[in-house]
């Protein structure tokens, strides 16, 4: 496997982040971090998510400009054949702990076809809450306007497989560790 395209995309995202050109405002309908430590300056991290490798790598930037991988996590990613997911650099726009899940009308329809009636809002801790104990919102959007997130799950078998409609699902313990480590504004680069 040639790592050059991934490295080039990561370098571009770092340069965009340093110049401020890639910055996007947090959507007004998203809550900002509920973590009391969120008032600290953003940590010098960059996240790279590989859809095909179902892998999230957390890099730490040092004052010398060098980056070092400090953690790797398996993620569930977009199912094969799905072509609407976004690629390239973006940012973390919100971090929430114990989030409610607001399934789309389409999600509710899919669940109805499986014999499950989903409410418009699923509370934290509920067995049908697909967000799990954390939700990291991303600035990435599809051409259809779909919002992308990194979140926990209620089915650990989904992690490490290409089974989602686009979001990235993590083991709850790993995701909580990541959510507590990064800050709103962290660069996220999605690669194929």
Domains along the sequence of the chain with CATH: 4-98+133-191 (2.40.440.10)
Higher pLDDT, 190 or 65: 190
Higher pLDDT, 179 or 111: 179
C-alpha atoms less than 13 angstroms from C-alpha of 23 in its C-beta half-sphere:
8
For residue 24, count other CB atoms closer than 10 A to its CB. Answer: 13
86-112 pLDDT per residue, tens: 889 999 999 999 999 988 887 888 889
Two tokens, residue 73: 């996590």
Confidence of residue 41 (pLDDT cuts 50, 70, 90): low
Confidence of residue 59 (pLDDT cuts 50, 70, 90): very high
Residue 16 has pLDDT above 50, yes or no: no
| Mean pLDDT of the chain, nearest integer | 78
Higher pLDDT, 176 or 34: 176
Tell me which DSSP letter residue 152 carries. -
The answer to whether residues 17 and 11 touch, using CB atoms and an 8 Å cutoff, is: no
For residue 187, the model assigns a pLDDT of: 95
Sign of the alpha-carbon torsion through 14, 18, 22, 26 = positive
Higher pLDDT, 81 or 6: 81
For residue 168, the model assigns a pLDDT of: 92
Helix (H) or strand (E) holding 187: strand 187-191
Positions marked catalytic: 151, 167
Higher pLDDT, 113 or 33: 113
């Amino acid at each position: 496997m040639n790592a050059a395209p991934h490295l080039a995309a990561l370098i571009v995202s770092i340069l965009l982040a340093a110049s401020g050109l890639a910055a996007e405002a947090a959507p007004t309908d998203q809550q900002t971090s509920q973590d009391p430590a969120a008032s600290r300056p953003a940590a010098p991290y960059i996240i790279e998510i590989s859809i095909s490798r179902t892998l999230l790598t957390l890099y730490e930037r040092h004052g010398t400009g060098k980056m070092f991988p400090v953690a790797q996590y398996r993620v569930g990613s977009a199912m094969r054949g799905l072509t609407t997911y976004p690629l390239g650099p973006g940012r973390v726009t919100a971090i929430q702990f114990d989030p409610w899940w607001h399934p789309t009308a389409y999600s509710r329809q899919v669940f109805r076809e499986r014999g499950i009636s989903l409410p418009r809002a699923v509370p934290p801790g509920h067995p049908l809450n697909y967000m799990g104990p954390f939700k990291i919102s991303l600035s990435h959007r599809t051409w259809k306007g779909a919002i992308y997130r990194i979140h926990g799950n209620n089915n650990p078998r989904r992690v490490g497989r290409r089974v989602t409609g686009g979001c990235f699902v993590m083991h709850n313990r790993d995701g909580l560790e990541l959510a507590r480590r990064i800050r709103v504004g962290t660069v996220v680069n999605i690669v194929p």
